Amino acid sequence: MATRRLPYSNVSRQRSLEAAVAKQATLAPDQQLLSPTASGRLAGIAPPFTKAMAVSAAAAAKQIEATATANMARATLKTYVSHFHQVFGLGVVRGLHTPNQKSYFGLPASGESLPALGTESEILQAAQHIVDGDERRMADGGVAMSNPSTAEVGDALADFKLAIGNQTKLKDAFDRSQEAVQALVAEADSVIKRVWDEVEMNYNDEAPASKRRKAREWGVNYISDTTISIVVAVTDQATGLPIPGVLVEITETGDSQLTEGDGTATLVTHAMDAANLVFNYAGYATASKALVLDNAQGQYTVALAMAKL
- The full set of domain ranges for the chain reads 7-221, 222-309
User: Mean per-residue pLDDT for 125-136?
Assistant: 95
Instruction: Give which of 47, 239, 104, 77 is closest to 158, Cα–Cα.
Output: 77
114 pLDDT above the threshold of 90: no
**What is the separation, in whole angstroms, between the first and last Cα of the chain?**
42
Give 165's pLDDT tier (boundaries 50, 70, 90). Answer: very high
Give 109's pLDDT tier (boundaries 50, 70, 90). Answer: confident
Can you give the pLDDT at residue 220?
A: 95
CA distances from 133 to 78, 105, 307 (A): 17, 5, 54
Enter the CATH code of domain 222-309: 2.60.40.1120
CA atoms of 45 and 186, how far apart (whole Å): 10
295 pLDDT above the threshold of 90: no
Dump strand ranges (E) for 105-237: 222-236
**Judging by DSSP bridges, how do beta strands 247-250 and 256-258 pair with one another?**
antiparallel
Can you give the pLDDT at residue 205?
A: 93
| Distance, CA of 244 to chain centre | 19
User: Mean per-residue pLDDT for 283-300?
Assistant: 90
Give 2's pLDDT tier (boundaries 50, 70, 90). Answer: confident
- For 249, phi then psi, to 5°, come to -130, 140
Proportion of the chain above pLDDT 70, given as a percent: 100
Average pLDDT score, the chain: 94
Can you give the pLDDT at residue 294?
A: 85
User: Mean per-residue pLDDT for 269-297?
Assistant: 92
Q: Could you read off the pLDDT of 227-249 as tens digits, one per residue?
A: 999 999 999 999 999 999 999 99
112 pLDDT above the threshold of 80: no
pTM over 0.95: no
Can you give the pLDDT at residue 73?
A: 98
Give 298's pLDDT tier (boundaries 50, 70, 90). Answer: confident
113 pLDDT above the threshold of 80: no
| 127 Cβ contact list (under 8 Å, min separation 6) | 77, 80, 81, 153, 154, 156, 157, 160
CA atoms of 137 and 134, how far apart (whole Å): 5
